[in-house]
Structure 1
Amino acid sequence: MTESGNIKYNIRGEKPLKGYQIVRVRNVAHSKEVLDNFKNAVLTILKNKALSDEDPKWEKLLPQGIVNKIKQLDNDDF
């Protein structure tokens, strides 16, 4: 299964066959919303690999919560 397939369909803790990272969301209010936001961002990045990381289209493609967090970063954070 592809990486995007794993994100969409492995929702009961199934481990991919190889090369995976586990993201756990704990002690966060609205944890399902936070996890869904993260998953949507990863799926968006996978679908738009050809876009430059400087392309302004990312602001419209990525979830607003992630865009807001990225805007708060300074050069040292990158």
Structure 2
Amino acid sequence: MRSRYHLSQDQLGRRVGVSRQTIASLESGQFRPGLPLAFRLAHLFKVKIEDLFTPDPEDLEAVQGLEQEGDPRV
């Protein structure tokens, strides 16, 4: 996504308030952003958060398990 906008890691980091290293870690999959950063990135690129990040399969399985048990939290 960053390359479509012709931004360096440093430029993107400055636009969303993080370091170049954070952007590099996001791109390599070593870091998962918190919601504030995910929202800033999605807003900048004019996409949904889900278009930028995919949840871990374990997280999805946990939610599906709660749905099947009739947990009122989901």
| TM-score using structure 1 length | 0.27
Q: Which of these two proteins has the greater Rg computed from alpha carbons?
A: 2
Q: Which has the higher helix share?
A: 2
| TM-score using structure 2 length | 0.28
